[in-house]
Amino acid sequence: MFSLSPDQQALVQAARATAHAELASTVKEDDEREHFRKDLFGRLGAAGLCGIQTAEEWGGLGLGYVEYALVIEEIAKVAPSYAVAVAVSGLPQVILAQFGNDAQRATWMPGLAAGELLGAFALSEPGSGSDASSLRTTAVLDGDNYRLNGTKFWITHGGVADVYVVMARTGGPGPKGISAFLVSSDTPGLSFGKKEEKMGLRASPTVEMVLEDAIVPVSNRIGPEGNGFSVAMSALDSGRITIAATALGLAQAAMDCAGRYAVTRKQFDTAIIDFQGVGFMLADMAVRIEQARLLTHKAAWLKDNKLAFSPIAAMAKLAATDCAMSVTTDAVQVMGGYGYTREYPVERLMRDAKVMQIVEGTNQVQRVVIARHLKRGWE
């Protein structure tokens, strides 16, 4: 995809205007206070930005992942923590659209798409991160309910979300023993522990989830027993596109900030962008961003056209998040001492960028995914 349609251009402009109007004034304060404003998330929803990919019959805009990625990138240029919020709250919508039933969709999707409800995804545990199939949280059938017991780590929106998609073990070891459940925030036996003190994305809460005989109705199971690992992996494939888009947005914001600085900052009566040492750094940033953006849009286009997109999504996530870390680091360097201070956003963007290389599967895992795909083509 080499150009945007008029409708896509209008959507980008609307997302950009909304992000600046609703988020820009509090970004610095929220980072310093580690504060997430659920009301601001709701305003993004009221503007139609929380259900881009969800069908109109379930309260969304019924657009594709290309449009979803475009919107996420615009939000991330202003406030990456809220781009992550839109992406994470979108995961239950994506999961229910593919694996849920009509009753589950009717209960949850309109509120999620409108930003009136906040969604979350609970897969990781203290002993299972990259090795997700080794999770130990259990779900034991008890009449018309399941009893869930276990601890989940690294839960974005933990304690503030309205509904969680939770992966728990209903069978034996390995991926075939895992099932997926919708767990409402008011579920008996559900509580939250430690809130992580993070280097970046500090306005996005990351909290420990505790399930102690949490009572979840059978009707809240997503699909059949044993299908949970497939649900989780499918969600992560899709999530890699939105994480790539988030990384693109924050990288673009960092480059733009450094570029404006380099045009106005003079040394030896010359704008520093005219020194090759600086100008070449900015040129390399632009190339990395454009490469990553093309991969991200290709992955989104493949998904929209119901073509195999998993390996390209892994490439996009790998390229965009490595790009974000490189670009933000160089942006700080271009701005020198000013870049290292909180007077400018590049130091915050550099901190935000690091976790992009970790979430939705570490970049080492992405390389494993890509290598396996290549191997199958050569065998």
Residues known to be catalytic:
360
> How many H helices and E strands in the chain?
11, 10
Contacts of 131 (CB under 8 A, 6+ apart): none
Structure-token match 């969800």, residue found: 54
Q: What are phi and psi of 226, to 5 degrees?
A: 85, 0
Cβ–Cβ under 8 Å, residues 317 and 369: no
CB 75 within 8 A of CB 67: no
Contacts of 361 (CB under 8 A, 6+ apart): 130, 236, 240, 314, 317, 369
How does DSSP classify residue 71? Answer: H
Residue 316, helix vs strand vs coil: helix
d(CA 377, CA 232): 25
For 45-60, the DSSP string reads HHTT-S-TTS-GGGTS
Give whole-number Cα distances, 4 to 8, 11, 32, 38, 127, in Å. Answer: 6, 10, 36, 31, 44
Closest CA to 220 of 117, 108, 122: 108
- Please name which of 35, 101, 47, 94 lies closest in space to residue 71, comparing C-alpha atoms: 47
Rounded distance between C-alpha atoms, residue 170 and residue 177, angstroms: 6
3-class SS at 146?
Answer: strand
Spatial distance between the Cα atoms of 9 and 333, rounded to a whole number of angstroms: 33
**Count of Cβ atoms closer than 10 Å to residue 38 Cβ:** 14
Asked if 162 contacts 117 with a C-beta cutoff of 8 angstroms, the reply is yes
